[in-house]
Structure 1
Amino acid sequence: MPTMSTSHSPPTSRITSLRSILHHDLPASLVVFLIAIPLSLGIAAASGAPLIAGLVAAVVGGVVAGALGGSPLQVSGPAAGLTVVVAGLVGQFGWAATAGITCAAGLVQILLGVTRIGRLALSLSPAVVHGMLAGIGVTIAVQQLHVVLGGQAQSSLIANLVALPGRLVAHHPHSVLVGVLTVALMLVWPRIPKVKVVPAPLVAVVVVTALAAVWMPEVTRVNLPDRPLQELILPAFPHGTPWAIAAAVLTVALVASVESLLSAVAVDKLHNGKRSNLDRELIGQGAANAISGALGGMPVTGVIVRSSTNVAAGAKSRASAILHGIWIAAFVLAAGAMLELIPMAALAGVLLVTGLRLVQLAHIRTLRRHDELLVYVVTAAGVAVLGLAEGVLIGLALALVRVLYRLSRATVTATEENGEWTVLIRGTLVFLGVSSLIRTLRSIPTGARVRVDLSVDHLDHAAYEAIDDWRRGHIDRGGSVELNRMAFRAALRSTPARRLLPWKPQVIAAPDQRASMLDGIRAFEESADQIRPMLAKLAADGQRPTQLFITCADSRIVPNMITTTGPGDQFCVRNVGNLVPPDGSGSNSVDAAIEYAVEVLGVRSIVVCGHSHCGAAAASLEANAPAGSGLQNWLRHLEPSVRRAVGMPDIVDPATGVKLSPADKLSVANVAVQLSNLRSFACVRKAEAEGRLELIGLWFDIGAAAARLVLEREPYLVRADEELATASRHSAS
């Protein structure tokens, strides 16, 4: 009789999940728990909130947001980004009312998530968001500098700066020593290679607390209630005008939402797992804030410091965030007295460094390149001096003014030479610039020969009508107008005419292909002024490509378009099926290209690019190449790829989750085989071994216009951003 015992065994997937939690998430949760305690206490102290409120927020953020949120590896809790907001609310309404505001803000966040408009918060200008964080960071740093120096923080940045000289001459040597040691450890510890896996805030607080316990007994320390659960301050309805209360609720909800969503997006770039559901993340954050406020806790957001630590510690699921909240609750209830050994100056030192790190030089450099630095600086200064809401509104207003200015920024000039007028139109031409355009066009004499050179990012309908009306009128009065219709239509479609190639889809079976080609050449020459200096330099200096790009001869594959490269960047080899026959197979053309690229040009990478709907792959699977033909002889080099594909599991597109067709699976396997074939060349093996050359597999989905990286191992096909994030983590470690 068959046994039924197997029916009572746990499913394999559950066993695997449990093993993953024990092996990955449990250790990671302990690391995050250790870093969360000092940060939560420090943020509570900097906000003017009861210290226990910071720990409540850490527990609720970990358990509730971790369980209900849409970001599997994000860790939530009290955040430095809300410090200024909370401090202002405590000063205006008191702590009990601030907890009530937090609870209401959570309900607003849930509403944003349910209505699926939460992701609109990501439409904020990055310059405004980063400027907001920088302003908050500067405010926190100056505020906590007072605590490091043994005093109390003032209510505003200006007050803190005014009081700073007096604080510097005050005599609090023990507090200063604790703060300076904490800051030094925070800065130095991450630079020590073999020990940086232990979080710097934990090391700094533990070391300084131990030293203070022995040599500085009189230093001010953390003061927690003896009975934490009984002494929680429950929320109360705030007293004030309805507008003031509504503004406070919306400020907490929006700032917490933006910070959580930005953190979730940043965390997604650090791992290869499931991507965040931003609407669900808002619902989870809202539930956490509603519960945290109801328990007398601080506002909760997703926090990048704890989240990145969670990923680096090896977490694989949301279990790590949930467990870290449980550990904090257990520690506070069972060993809260140990927290009261921590000097307040140590927490201030941690927050001082954390605040300064909100001012990131990488963001400043990026915004400077994109001409957004002014918005960043104005927003940061407004937040630091006037307040968060005022600073953000000023930053948004400035960003909007700059957008309107750019929309109206078009250069229109008319010059005459040898009896012919040339009208140059550059920039972005919309209704705001039509009056200037019309004035310039009307300055051209009646009956003149005119050539209009149009090179704009965008042309709206008002500008289109203005040019077309003038053109018709000028022709009716005996003049002539030469206008590049292709550039005109491209600008109207917001397809920049100043691109390298004024490309347009060709009409299949056009009646005069020679004329069509000549039209294309003419269009290229009309827009070649912008690239002529670059090509002249390439002609004089010679080619120095950094990449050998081996791809299929398929007409739908455009290497420079896929990789956003230009002349001089790629040394390209194209053949049917993007094949690299092994060295010695007699494929002289491919052999010569590889050797020339590696040994003479010194390329730093070789890319083999396959693609979907590949005719070579389909012909190999169906064996329908004409017998004895050159095509059949060439496709014999695909046979190892066919054998490789047969032994591989199904391949799923990492973005859509759709299983690839047999032909597309073969084209992916073929890329992996060609990478192996490249290593049959001695010059490739030597350059790769010396670290001078990297081999890269690429697969282009024509229908989706999406490129994937091909790996020589499972899962074989990955999104480029995921693999780049993995490479960045490896290089950083």
Structure 2
Amino acid sequence: MSTSHSPPPSSAAPDASRWKSILHHDLPASLVVFLIAIPLSLGIAAASGAPLIAGLVAAVVGGVVAGALGGSALQVSGPAAGLTVVVAGLVSQFGWPATAAITCAAGLVQILLGVTKIGRLALSLSPAVVHGMLAGIGVTIAVQQLHVVLGGQAQSSLIANLAALPGRLVAHHPHSVLIGVLTVAILLAWPRLPKVKVVPAPLVAVVAVTALAAVSMPDVTRVNLPGQPLQELIPPALPEGTPWAIVAAVLTVALVASVESLLSAVAVDKLHNGKRADLDRELVGQGAANAVSGALGGMPVTGVIVRSSTNVAAGAKSRASAILHGIWIAAFVLAAGSMLELIPMAALAGVLLVTGLRLVQMAHIRTLRRHDELLVYVVTAGGVAVLGLAEGVLIGLALALGRVLYRLAKATVTATEENGEWTVRIRGTLVFLGVASLVRTLRSIPAGAHVRIELSVDHLDHAAYEAIEDWRRGHIARGGSVDLNRMAFRAALRPDSARRLLPWQPQVIAEPDHRVSMLDGIRAFEEAADQIRPMLAKLAAEGQRPTQLFITCADSRIVPNMITTTGPGDQFCVRNVGNLVPPNGSNSNSVDAAIEYAVEVLGVSSIVVCGHSHCGAAAAALKGDAPGGTGLQNWLRHLEPSVRRAVGMPDVVDPATGSTLSPADKLSVANVGVQLTNLRSFPCVRKAEAEGRLELIGIWFDIGAAAARLVLDRDPYLVRADEELATAGRRSAR
């Protein structure tokens, strides 16, 4: 296999290596995140109507507590733009001390969600609703902060802000407008300049306009922090209001913060090839951070994708970066808080205006449009912006659910007549909601006609089943005839009965005659082959053009197309006991011929050697118990180089579970590497690889875990496929 694959960092690195990594990677990254977190935290607090110190408290607690306890090592938490509208509403309704108490209670709810292992259910929300919610929040923030940029105060709602905007435009606040416009211009232009992206754009914008304001604009409104931050924190107080209003407020903060944090954690996982996030633990960490932040008088905390992506881009390797960034914020506020009071409020408003607009992402809109979900997105965004967060999300969820029910009720049922024979085609998902349309179509067929029903549905419920059966019996009683694929009919009613059509699922053979069972399987395949028949006909006409030669074991539990998610025509496959490739010149005619034909005639671009766990050939080679003088014993002699290699290898560890492989599984991993070496003994393989036309790949399939690992030619020997794909993606991007 190509040596371009790099092993992931070892989880068993000594303390000295960990400290070296922290100093070389996490410490510099934490400083970058710290610099971007200061202006964002102040701006979000100002936009929410919270004390500015509350935003800094949330940034410190989010970094230290969520960073230490959360399930995503590289996610950075703090006050987030997505909660700005929620917090502003709570402050208006309950006041700030009560809002802090609500934040604390919401944190306890998040901890409960994480402990009960239901945190991942938050990801079941429709992406159209989630992105629509963020877009609605973004528009609301942008319009609010536009008022501040123009030198005024934001109103309580989007409608009020829009109504007051004409008057604000004619007001005379040139210094505030200049600062806001310059801030926005720098934020938009800075990332486009070459070789300066390492310095965060918000930091550059805020520092530049602050310096300008200090020199020539003494009258602009600036940040106002308490002189003694620790003594002037506002403690939480019990909210006054109806129990329903208080519970609704707590649940709103908990759910919105949870969804935003989990979505951010999933997005961060796509940016690096380290350990994946534990989403339930992440909820516990976020809940602990919110409980502490609320208790200290701070704002709600969530995972923040802006800071998290900056953290990854700056080279962070562990959670130490997030923790350190929180420590730097605390130290800066306590030691140099007066410097923050030089920042104009219009500069923070400019930062928040751009941040809000960036919550409306064109990539999401294009994706949702392709999947016909744009209406849900627009309605949710409009509802959040005009009516409020909870109302907008509920309307979006109701619309998304309604569209699902509509689609269920709109199974395609057509009836056509040709030469006196009627054909009824039923497609989609047929449930009780579509029974009325189904019955109406069936009753349009004349009595006494011959009818053929083509059923291609992924599911039908009992109401639909009875409707078809009742019509069929009635039509026959009136002198007609009905051809119906009974096996497909039963399979659609009970999806588990369709498992015979999926050859990789184990079949329980009740009949003693296995030949009869095989014939039943062939019949079932032919009756259900309508959907793939056109594709196979095209392959038959055009010939095979596979891109891959797949060499694997004859073991009945290995299904190459299932492992690689490929279909007919994609793979040229060679199977033998032990997935062996005897070296060129060993007179293994069948394997030699397949390799030469695949490379020279079919022109495949890759050759994959796939070993697997619980391999009988590997176990037999270790025990040496193959019957003497047999073809099996002669064949297993080709495993001897693999046995010698396995003896000299260190223990092989599964990268996902951390468990050490058994001797037989270790041998099967070593065997993959030896077969890749043997492949290069073929001149056609060496030539194609040297010319860049061919790649050799080794994989090892863990049958029990249903997981494929990539095989390296060096320690740690096995890596997860998703980690290697992420590494390859970053290499190709460079």
Q: TM-score range by the shorter chain?
A: 0.7 to 0.9
Measured at CA, do residues 488 and 73 of structure 1 come closer, stay the same or move farther in structure 2, by a change above 3 Å?
A: same
CA contact (8 A) 1:456 1:497 kept: no
In structure 2, the residue corresponding to 1:607 is in which secondary structure? strand
Deviation at 1:439, TM superposition (A): 4.0
Q: Is the Cα–Cα contact under 8 Å of residues 57 and 77 in structure 1 kept in the other structure?
A: yes
2-structure distance, mates of 1:469, 1:675 = 61
Shift of 1:401: 0.7
- Whole-angstrom distance in 1 between the partners of 2:391 and 2:49: 21
C-alpha deviation, 1:192, in angstroms:
5.2
1:537-592 Cα offsets, whole Å, 9 max, x none, are 44555544443333233333222222222233333333333334445555555455
Question: Which digits, 9 at most, give the CA deviation of each residue in 1:419-461, with x for residues without a partner?
Answer: 5443322110112223333444455556654433211011223
What is the match of residue 106 of structure 1? 107
The Cα offsets for residues 494-529 of structure 1, whole Å up to 9 and x where unpaired, read as 379799979875565966666555544444444444
Contact 2:236 2:297 (8 Å CA) reproduced = yes
Question: Are the equivalent residues in 2 in contact too, given 1:711–1:717 (CA < 8 A)?
Answer: yes
Rounded Cα–Cα distance in structure 1 between residues aligned with 2:3 and 2:407: 69
Check 1:504–1:303 CA distance in 2 against 1; reply closer, same or farther (3 A cut). closer
CA contact (8 A) 2:428 2:458 kept: yes
C-alpha deviations, 1:80-109, integer Å up to 9, x for none?
110111122222333233222222222322
Provide closer, same or farther for how the CA distance between residues 635 and 453 of structure 1 changes in structure 2, counting only shifts above 3 A: same
Paired residues of 2:32 and 2:311 also in contact (CA < 8 A)? yes
Q: How far is the alpha carbon of 1:332 from its aligned partner?
A: 0.4
- 1:603 partner SS: coil
Query: Quick one: distance in 1 between partners of 2:150 and 2:602?
Result: 60
Counterparts of 2:4 and 2:440 in 1: how far apart (Å)?
85
Once the two structures are TM-superposed, the CA of residue 306 in structure 1 deviates from its matched residue by 1.9
- TM-score normalised by L of structure 2: 0.87
Give the distance between the partners of 2:112 and 2:508, measured in 1 at CA.
50
Q: Secondary structure at the match of 1:402?
A: helix
Does the C-alpha gap of structure 1 residues 338 and 587 become closer, same or farther in structure 2, counting only changes over 3 Å?
farther
> Matched residues in 2 for 1:149 and 1:602: separation?
65
2:600 matched to which residue of 1? 599
Query: Given the alignment of the two structures, is residue 704 of structure 1 paired with residue 702 of structure 2, yes or no?
Result: no
Give distance in 2, aligned partners of 1:211 and 1:64.
Answer: 36
- Quote the offset at 1:606 in angstroms: 3.4
The 1:223/1:710 distance shift into structure 2, 3 A limit, reads: same
CA deviation vs aligned residue, 1:194-248 (integer Å, no higher than 9, x gap): 4434433333333443444445555443222222222222223333333322222
- Structure 1 537/199 Cα, relative in aligned 2: closer, same or farther at 3 Å? farther
Q: Residues 671, 6 of structure 1: CA spacing in aligned structure 2 closer, same or farther, 3 A cutoff?
A: closer
TM-superposed deviation, 1:725 = 3.2
Range with greater deviation from structure 2 (311-320 or 450-459): 311-320
Identity of aligned residues (%): 90
* CA displacement at 1:145 relative to structure 2: 3.3
Whether the 8 Å CA contact 1:611–1:702 is kept in 2: the answer is yes
* TM-score (norm. length: structure 1): 0.88
In structure 1, distance between residues paired with 2:199 and 2:226: 29
Q: CA deviation at 1:268?
A: 3.4
Q: CA deviation at 1:256?
A: 0.8
- Range with greater deviation from structure 2 (551-560 or 442-451): 442-451
Change (3 A) 1:496 1:535: farther
1:16 maps to which residue? Answer: none
Matched, 1:722 2:723: yes
583 and 104 in structure 1: CA distance in 2 versus 1, 3 angstrom threshold: same
Cα distance in 2 for partners of 1:444, 1:296 equals: 72
- CA pair 126-8 structure 1, distance change in 2 beyond 3 A: closer
How much is the aligned-residue C-alpha RMSD, in angstroms? 5.2
Give the match for residue 9 of structure 2: 11
Paired with 1:672 and 1:160, the residues of 2 have a C-alpha distance of 66
Q: Which runs of 5+ in 1 are unaligned?
A: 14-18
1:317 match: secondary structure: coil
Shift of 1:629: 4.4
* Partners of 2:3 and 2:713 within 8 A in 1: no
Determine the C-alpha separation between the residues in 1 that align with 2:486 and 2:522.
Answer: 14
Q: Mark the CA change 1:295 to 1:195 in structure 2 (over 3 Å): closer, same or farther.
A: same
Give the CA deviation at 1:707: 2.6
Distance 1:136 1:448, change over 3 A: same
1:690, 1:344 → 2: CA distance? 61
Shift of 1:397: 0.2
1:238–1:33 Cα change, 3 Å = same
Asked whether the 8 Å contact 1:140–1:352 carries over to 2, the reply is yes
Distance 1:194 1:486, change over 3 A: farther
Q: CA deviation at 1:378?
A: 1.4
Deviations 1:251-309 (A, max 9, x none): 11111111122222333344444443333332322222222122221111122222233
Q: Is the 8 A contact 1:501 1:524 kept in 2?
A: no
Q: Which moved more, 1:677-686 or 1:484-493?
A: 677-686
What is the CA distance between 1:193 and its match in structure 2? 6.0
After superposition, give the CA deviation of every residue in 1:618-661 in whole Å (9 maximum; x if it has no partner): 33223344445444444333333323322333334344444433
Residues in 2 aligned to 1:525 and 1:220: alpha-carbon distance in whole angstroms: 77
Is 1:582–1:678's contact at 8 Å kept on the other side of the alignment? yes
User: Residues 87 and 732 from structure 1, CA distance in 2 versus in 1: closer, same or farther, beyond 3 angstroms?
Assistant: farther
Secondary structure of residue in 2 paired with 1:6: coil
